[in-house]
Amino acid sequence: MEETIGKLWHRLITRTAEQRYPAAAVRLKEIERTAGVYFRALGGDPGLRVAAATIDPHGARRSLFARIAGVGDKTARARMDQATLRLPPEIDCFPLRSLNRDLYLWLAALAAAHDRLPADTRFTQDAAGDFRRNQAATCCAIETWPGIGARYRRLVDAYLPTRMDPTRLPAAEAERERAIRRALTEPGSVLVLPAASTDTPPAEPVQLWLSGSLGTSASAVRSTDADPEQTTHGAPPSEEAERRAYRAQREDMPKEKNGLAIMFRAESLLAVAEFLRINRPTDDDPDPNAAAAARDLDHLSLAQDKDPVASKVKFDLDLPSAAEDDVVLGPGIRLPEWDYRKQRLIEDHVCLTEMVARNAAPAALPPYLRRTARRLHQQFAALQPGRVWLKHRPDGTELDVDAVVRAQTDRSVGRHPSEQLYLSLEKRARDLSCLVLADLSLSTDSWISSDARVIDVIRDSLLLFGEALDATGDRFAICGFSSLKRSNVRFHRLKNFDECFDDRVRGRIAAIKSGYYTRLGAAVRHAAALLGRETASRRILLILSDGKPNDLDLYEGRYGIEDTRAAIGEARRQGLVPFCVTIDREGASYLPHLFGPAGYAVIRKPDELPTRLPLFYAQLTR
């Protein structure tokens, strides 16, 4: 009985204190794509992706019921940094779903207006600066896009009653709250936020404004690329877990001294692993409560080991020996790279090496793919052009009766008759070439099911793709790539344009392995150079990927995205048609910026890639 009454009391006091409307809630995953398109359509930075904001404590005064229930001390505030527009993961503060949705769109419009403000206004890191900047952005948004004004006024009228009544606040806090209310109802009318003493709690966060600014030191950290040191096993995380963000805080590396110092050799590395100061689990099984524990943390602490390089192991465990590595086909090829921070192309910045698999034995098509291959072969054989009769030829195998009658008629009326009187039976070839560029980075070693990894799916896709295109007679090439910093971009030749798709090529595809990172820009530039030598009128660059561009050096986040975008633009200017097929469920947040709205496809079920890849090619060449 005591437990039942306690639950009922907790439910009652929580509902009274929170003032939330779960039935009208709008989640970010429902409107993420719309908000991103809306933000970019209003002139926002096209390189920014839309992601979830962190839920942080705000320290503002709460109502009595909220303090009793222990709620309302944290909130998700929208903000924008140099790479991300972060919006609340869920909005349910209004009783109408339409108002909650309008708040998402208003925050996107406000972020686009921030980009139009002068730099000295945007780069502020204090509450007073945020107060002025949000008013300026609101005025800019309403003046630039007058249609947004009605939406903003509806939101303000619905939002003000949800804030604390100034008459119930102490004098200093009441004056500050009235200033905030005037700034919301009449943007630009309040220039200075009233000062408060150091012991006065901060003002309640304004849900209609952005928190922080470009250049803020606080950042949200969420792993979007697979950790090269670890692979993901089991089922992929849920959609809700993917949109959870965590605030990170830099910490000093703990100064611990090993109680036991021993001399070790490379072959005894496993025996001394526990003495290395690295984050390593003590067992092989994942902790089932790890995700729940992370959600309860206010922030994640990150530490950087500042020990000198001389105290670390002097070799890279990922690098194979020269005798076991793939065969290098020639000297390194120097390629440029786009630095978006400096807005210039750095010449000869990347070194790319062409390679082919060592000792790749010829192999037949695996038995489990033969049935699908036969079906695709029959479907794509219909695309192979047949013989057609061409009329009005100067020579041919048969007379064109219509042309002969027309010529006789012209001769009878005194006109000069045509001499093109024959039919010619000719075979027309498809005038196109395609190069498939597959991502072979270490993230493809992750498991998508209990039976297959991403690299296995890519291998099957390339085999079926080759079987399908072999039926059409089109010229095509297959390549793969990975990278280890800018000095070692590995470009694997699996099939050249002039090679037949035979057991030798199948053996090379069967021998592909995952490793290293994804420096996509350099691989696209070199693939575009190879495809650009083809004389076909239509040249397609088909890219297979499982995640964002990344590498160990600066090639991470916005840098890699912008370099890849520049490489795609260069390929288009050469007359090529780039198209990306990805299994990254977050691909819709950044691929439109790279390939355009119709230049990519996201496959939600990776195991469908082998059968769908040839169909994408058929649509591109229709």
Q: 518 and 444, same structural domain?
A: yes
For residue 155, what pLDDT is reported? 94
Please give the C-alpha separations between residue 447 and each of 177, 443, 450, 457, in angstroms, as whole numbers: 53, 10, 7, 10
Same domain, residue pair 401 and 527: no
505 vs 442: CA distance, rounded Å:
23
Q: Are residues 402 and 530 in the same domain?
A: no
pLDDT of residue 304: 62
Residues 496 and 412 in one domain: no
Phi-psi region of 404 (alpha: psi -120 to 50; beta: other; left: phi over 0): alpha
Per the structure, how many domains does the chain have?
3
- The whole-number average pLDDT for the span 270-279 is 45
Residue 321 covered by a domain:
no
Instruction: Show the domain range for 394.
Output: 387-427
Q: What is the pLDDT of residue 58?
A: 82
In a domain, 169, yes or no: yes
DSSP track, 403-469: HHHHHHHHHHTTPPPPS--EEEEEEPPP-EEEEEEEE-SGGGGSBSSSS-BHHHHHHHHHHHHHHHH
User: At a CB cut-off of 8 Å and minimum separation 6, what does 402 contact?
Assistant: 391
The model's confidence at residue 571, banded by pLDDT at 50, 70 and 90, is very high
Higher pLDDT, 304 or 284: 304
One domain, residues 394 and 521: no
Q: Verify that 218 and 193 share a domain, yes or no.
A: yes
Residue 322 resides in a domain: no
Does residue 215 share a domain with residue 196?
A: yes
SS3 221: strand
User: Does residue 410 share a domain with residue 465?
Assistant: no
Kindly tell me if the per-residue pLDDT of 196 is higher than 80. Answer: no
pLDDT of amino acid 70: 73
pLDDT recorded at residue 429:
63
Element (H, E) at 336: strand 333-339
Question: Does the structure show a pLDDT above 80 at 39?
Answer: yes
Report the alpha-carbon angle 403-409-412, nearest 5: 145
Average pLDDT, rounded, for the chain: 81
Residue 349 domain-assigned (yes or no): yes
Gap between the Cα atoms of 90 and 315, Å rounded: 46
Residue 397 lies in a domain: yes
Amino acid (one-letter) located at 112: A
What is the CATH classification number for the domain harbouring 473? 3.40.50.410
3-state DSSP helix/strand/coil percent for the chain, to nearest 5? 40, 20, 40
- Tell me which of 400, 427, 454 is where a domain ends: 427
The answer to whether residue 574 scores a pLDDT higher than 90 is yes
What is the pLDDT, as a whole number, of residue 322? 62
Between 419 and 605, the more confident residue is 605
Say if residues 114 and 80 touch (Cβ distance below 8 Å): yes
pLDDT digits (tens, 9 = 90+) for 152-170: 999 999 999 988 888 888 8
Of residues 561 and 130, the one with the higher pLDDT is 561
Together in a domain, 69 and 27: yes
Residues 248 and 370 in one domain: no
Distance CA 551, CA 183 (A): 45
pTM metric for this prediction = 0.71
- Of 427, 455, 482, which residue constitutes the final position of a domain? 427
The residue among 40 and 125 whose pLDDT is bigger is 40
When mean pLDDT is compared across 102-106, 247-251, 288-292, 308-312, the lowest value belongs to: 308-312
Q: Is 186 within a domain?
A: yes
pLDDT-derived band of residue 566, with 50, 70 and 90 as boundaries?
very high
Q: Is the pLDDT of residue 263 over 60?
A: no
What integer pLDDT is reported at residue 462 of this predicted model? 94
Are residue 101 and residue 164 in the same domain, yes or no? yes
For residue 246, the SS3 value is strand
320 in a structural domain = no
pLDDT of residue 483: 93
Residues 6+ apart with CB under 8 A from 558: 47, 82, 83, 340
Provide φ and ψ at 423, rounded to 5°.
-105, 140
Give pLDDT, residue 561.
92
What's the pLDDT at 232? 39
Torsion angles phi and psi, residue 273, rounded to 5 = -60, -35
Which tops the pLDDT comparison, 491 or 244?
491
Confidence of residue 356 (pLDDT cuts 50, 70, 90): very high
Please indicate, yes or no, whether residues 129 and 270 belong to a single structural domain of this protein. yes
Residue 25: inside a domain: yes
Q: Look at residue 198 in the predicted model and tell me its pLDDT.
A: 76
pLDDT of residue 572: 95
